[in-house]
Amino acid sequence: EDQVTQSPEALRLQEGESSSLNCSYTVSGLRGLFWYRQDPGKGPEFLFTLYSAGEEKEKERLKATLTKKESFLHITAPKPEDSATYLCAVQNAGNNRKLIWGLGTSLAVNP
Amino acid sequence: EAGVTQFPSHSVIEKGQTVTLRCDPISGHDNLYWYRRVMGKEIKFLLHFVKESKQDESGMPNNRFLAERTGGTYSTLKVQPAELEDSGVYFCASSLDLDTGELFFGEGSRLTVL
């Protein structure tokens, strides 16, 4: 069964303190792995798509990487506005297009 | 350009009653998805429309849930009769391309069944 596990569940950082979030997955053929950000009371907001092991994507202070078993979201010198829940999802290579989601990592960045 | 809009933002109903949730996708997006998040659980897929056709409804919990997409534009998700376990946040998302995982989500409709 396709599954996504994210760790840690929650993370508190000081402004400027870099860290990484983990997303481990098992899927019957990976079509893509996706990172989303969700703010309280809002829907998820797309960040990155990764398709194959070794691929990396960057956006401002965020960098996502992918291996055959997991993905990392690296946050460099975070700011308070980076506080949010970060969600990881995968799409398998079958005929359907549904996303399978992890529970997310709740990130709080203190000024 | 307007994003994905959902209505209502919050609904509180009694067990056994009926609720209809509405989603207006981004104009021109043929792909429309419904997802649900129950408290403490991960977001779960419900179904996927391509235009007015149900492409995949494998995530619909049971026959108390009925989704429609009139003319390939807005979509409704009706729960009848509602049960306590139906409580959660129902998200609608849309996308232009079938093969993309870049979905545009609405803010969700929170359903509370008492």
Looking at A44-48, B18-22, B100-104, which range is the least confident one? B100-104
Min Cα distance A24 → chain B (Å) is: 14
- Name chain A contacts of B33, Cβ cutoff 8 Å: 98
The percent of residues in chain B predicted with pLDDT above 90, rounded, is 91
Question: pLDDT value at position A96?
Answer: 81
Q: Which residues of B65-104 are buried (b: 16+ CB within 10 A; e: fewer)?
A: bebebeeeebbebebeebeeebbbbbbbbbbeeeeebebb
Per-residue pLDDT at B53 exceeds 80: yes
Q: Cβ–Cβ of B101/A100 closer than 8 Å?
A: no
Tokens describing residue B31: 């792909």
pLDDT tens across A62-102, in order? 999 999 999 999 999 999 999 999 999 999 888 788 999 99
What's the pLDDT score for residue B72? 84
* Cβ-Cβ contacts under 8 Å, B45 against chain A: 98-100
Residues A46, B64: Cα–Cα separation, whole Å: 31
Of chain A, the end-to-end C-alpha distance in Å amounts to: 41
| C-alpha distance from A4 to closest chain B C-alpha (Å) | 9
